Structure 1
Amino acid sequence: MNRQAVVFAFTGVSLFLPTVLASPLPERIEAIEHRTAKCFSPPPSINCEVSAVVRTGDQLILANDKPVPGKGGRSLFTVNLKGDDLSGNPTYLRGDTLKDADKYEALTTSLDGRYVIASTAFNKDVAAMSTIVYWPVGESSAAKALAAYADAPKPTPLREQISSAIGSPYYQIEGITIAPSQAAKLDSTDGQLMLGIRKHGKSSKEDFRFDFLLLSADVKFTGGTLVLQSPFKKVRIDVPEDYGDELGLSGIEYDRYNKDRLYAVTSLEKERKDAAGNVVGSEIGGFLWVLPFADGKPGNPVRVTRQDGTALKFSNKPEGVEVLDNKQILVVHDDDRVEVETSDTGIKRGDSEFGYSVITFPQSGP
């Protein structure tokens, strides 16, 4: 497969984040490499818009923002993963339940790695965009939809239960992960399902805000069925004062190797104007964050930096993050139709490609 790669390494001592949870998390990266991979083969007449990523063995499953023409309405696909490199032609997942859902924005796996879980955006009040589905790894045709919390005071759809937890009728999910529950619940649950909310408010057109909002609910697999054990509730975290009002959460993942952190990405897309105030294009970009995690509770997000202490900023638009091992993570990007030039902050890609970044941290454990 033809691909581009651009590599940048950083040397020097590593710095560790002080946190109230006393987890020695690396704040500064050791190296970053930007690459491209194919969405389509042969390329159809649409733009590649990767919105989520998750690892299953020696493959990555990715979501395209829109169904791919000629693929039977499917938008989830796999590519081969060898080390930290993506290769091979995409293979699209089959299954009526997967095909019936639209606008996938988040992917993860169960803590034991046996199930894949995917969330749609929930940004429109239609069934196809208001569902969370899951399936055994390698058996996408057996996918099921997650049912609402059954022990609520009165029966309500999943969409309304999430809306009630947020406190807004409109919202958009762009992150999902499963992390261990609190110690007292470890024996009775299979972890907590965490949802990352990018924006929420009155509607998509008015009175909304971009955010770094997390929801959580304990879950249990019972006879192959994923069951909510509790209603979704807000997770209490605070973002830095300089977070900005144009950044929204676009992906989050629990680190199953180090077990003491979550990684998250945020992104922005806004109009770019000239000196006269005329719109001349779009500006995109984003950041990588690390959140300490202990006894089922995440701490406050801290922006990851380069070795010189400046924020690790992407000129591509990060949409998903996956942990490869105890010192490497992979971030996938969706630039929409904005053209990004190759530099130390990102990479140029073709219409049928997506950009991704492999970030290496200093070794943080034995």
Structure 2
Amino acid sequence: MEKRAIITLVVGLASAAPHAPAAELPGRIAAIEHHTAACFAPGTPVNCEVSAVVESNEKLLLANDKRLPAPGGPALFTLDIEQGKISGEPTVLPGKALREADKYEALTKTLDGRYMIASTAFNKASTDEDPSSDILNTLLYWPVDDPEAAKPLSPTSRSGVTSSISLRKQIKDAIGASYYQIEAITMAPSEPVKAKTADGQLIIGIRRHGNDKTDAHFGFTLISAHVKFKDGTLALVEAFKSVQNFNVQAQGHTVGLSGIEYDRFNKDRLYAVTSYEEKSVDAANKPITNIGGFLWIVPFAAGKPGTPQLVTREDGSTLRFSNKPEGVEVLDAHQIIVVHDDDRVEVQTSEAGIERGANEFAYSKIRFP
């Protein structure tokens, strides 16, 4: 019998906002299916590494961790979806701004569904002398039917590239660390005191943060800022602030946040996925990598997230993925989809996950009661 998960939640920032009260949410799923879908044709010399997902008009927009093998194409593409099943041929999104940004890690849409929002990793700073990493520090938005109109939030132009590099300092101040890695974003309703002056709040999820890349720890860290649209331009109405900073363990694994999304149907929760990647050696002293992850429900009330709650299977055992979850999207009031990036690790098909080809990504269709 599977052991129940052990979850350690440690608040790491004294300035974190008070958490919303725990809500009665469906902690158990009703069913889960694992499938695969193709990023591009077999034999292409690029590995499919899907990092984020968002739905719009019966299509999924997905981000690939690396640029796609399309001439001049960005790492964003769409696939058809019907009743939680992905189909069709991938269509790469056009647009100069989308092509310039690199290492997309998070996708969401505005609460009214009119705009898409994408974030890169922000995991490398750049300088006036060497602004080449500006492309890794971009948060873009565009009308759902016009990706060529994409533009950065809080734009700064250097060396012919316009990015959101100006956001780095306030994100750093909100987190309290000079190095950080963005892996998740979602739009969510405003706190009541901001409801009249904002069009919602942009919540950003941080997977790792610390002094530098070699001295960073995994966590479940959220920051947020209220935003406002005016004449088609998105702007912050306040600086980013800390919302949560947890260290999370599940089944003995220290995990990092890899995706989050507000449930616009039930309006009382966020869904989040966390993942781990652990290196070791086998009996023959050969290096091996163990991957996996978990699904969480986060209560959401009065514009504030509460304490993450681990999701279980119908029998009460922990819902664990053997694939590596990277993004989550809410399809309706009872169904979500989780996309995975296995980082070239071979996963065997089982009740916990599914084997995939180099040109494919794995995804899990999950139904709640």
Common fold: TM-score over 0.5: yes
| Equivalent position of 1:290 in the other structure | 297
| Equivalent position of 1:12 in the other structure | none
1:326 partnered with 2:345: no
The secondary structure found in structure 2 opposite 1:257 is coil
2:350 to 335, 343, 355: 343
CA distance in 1, matches of 2:248, 2:141: 34
Which runs of structure 2 are paired with 1:260-275 in the superposition (5 Å)?
260-275=268-283
Report if aligned partners of 1:239, 1:300 keep a CA contact under 8 Å in 2: no
CA distance in 1, matches of 2:206, 2:48: 23
Change (3 A) 1:236 1:261: same
1:191 to 194, 200, 206: 200
The secondary structure found in structure 2 opposite 1:247 is strand
Change (3 A) 1:306 1:84: same
Change (3 A) 1:20 1:293: closer
| Equivalent position of 1:308 in the other structure | 315
Q: Aligned-pair distance for 1:311?
A: 1.2
| Equivalent position of 1:230 in the other structure | 238
| Equivalent position of 2:188 in the other structure | 179
Q: Aligned-pair distance for 1:203?
A: 1.2
| Equivalent position of 1:147 in the other structure | 154
Q: Aligned-pair distance for 1:21?
A: 3.1
Which runs of structure 2 are paired with 1:28-39 in the superposition (5 Å)?
28-39=28-39
Structure 1 consecutive aligned stretches of length 4 or more whose deviation exceeds 4 Å: 237-245
Q: Aligned-pair distance for 1:258?
A: 0.1
Q: Aligned-pair distance for 1:148?
A: 6.8
Task: Single out whichever of 239-248 and 59-68 deviates more from structure 2.
Answer: 239-248
Report if aligned partners of 2:248, 2:256 keep a CA contact under 8 Å in 1: no
1:39-70, Cα deviation, whole Å (9 max, x unpaired):
00365211100000000111000001111123
CA distance in 1, matches of 2:136, 2:253: 26
Change (3 A) 1:127 1:25: same
CA RMSD of aligned residues (A): 1.9
CA distance in 2, matches of 1:97, 1:240: 35
The secondary structure found in structure 1 opposite 2:193 is helix
CA distance in 1, matches of 2:222, 2:198: 19
1:63 partnered with 2:71: no
Question: What fraction of aligned residue pairs are identical, expressed as a percent?
Answer: 58
CA distance in 1, matches of 2:187, 2:286: 41
Which runs of structure 2 are paired with 1:1-366 in the superposition (5 Å)?
21=21, 23-41=23-41, 43-125=43-125, 126-147=133-154, 157-205=166-214, 207-236=215-244, 238=246, 246-275=254-283, 278-362=285-369
Q: TM-score, normalised by structure 2?
A: 0.87
Q: Aligned-pair distance for 1:273?
A: 2.1
1:304-337, Cα deviation, whole Å (9 max, x unpaired):
0112222100000000000000010000000011
Change (3 A) 1:243 1:294: farther
Report if aligned partners of 1:238, 1:301 keep a CA contact under 8 Å in 2: no
Change (3 A) 1:252 1:85: same
CA distance in 1, matches of 2:67, 2:177: 28
The secondary structure found in structure 2 opposite 1:157 is helix
Question: Unpaired segments of 5 or more residues in structure 2?
Answer: 1-18, 126-132, 157-164
The secondary structure found in structure 2 opposite 1:163 is helix
1:328-347, Cα deviation, whole Å (9 max, x unpaired):
00000000110101100000
Q: Aligned-pair distance for 1:264?
A: 0.2
Q: Aligned-pair distance for 1:72?
A: 1.1
Q: TM-score, normalised by structure 1?
A: 0.88
CA distance in 1, matches of 2:36, 2:99: 26
Higher normalized contact order (CA 8 Å, seq sep 6+, divided by chain length): 2
- State how many pairs are aligned: 336
Report if aligned partners of 2:20, 2:305 keep a CA contact under 8 Å in 1: no
Report if aligned partners of 1:240, 1:302 keep a CA contact under 8 Å in 2: no
Report if aligned partners of 2:249, 2:255 keep a CA contact under 8 Å in 1: no
Report if aligned partners of 1:237, 1:300 keep a CA contact under 8 Å in 2: no
Report if aligned partners of 1:238, 1:300 keep a CA contact under 8 Å in 2: no
CA distance in 2, matches of 1:101, 1:142: 14
Change (3 A) 1:22 1:64: closer
Report if aligned partners of 1:132, 1:145 keep a CA contact under 8 Å in 2: yes
Task: Single out whichever of 301-310 and 290-299 deviates more from structure 2.
Answer: 301-310
Report if aligned partners of 1:237, 1:298 keep a CA contact under 8 Å in 2: no
Q: Aligned-pair distance for 1:73?
A: 3.9
The secondary structure found in structure 1 opposite 2:212 is coil
| Equivalent position of 1:8 in the other structure | none
Change (3 A) 1:43 1:326: farther
CA distance in 2, matches of 1:271, 1:230: 41
Report if aligned partners of 1:165, 1:233 keep a CA contact under 8 Å in 2: yes
Question: Unpaired segments of 5 or more residues in structure 1?
Answer: 1-18, 150-155
Report if aligned partners of 2:22, 2:307 keep a CA contact under 8 Å in 1: no
Report if aligned partners of 1:52, 1:62 keep a CA contact under 8 Å in 2: yes
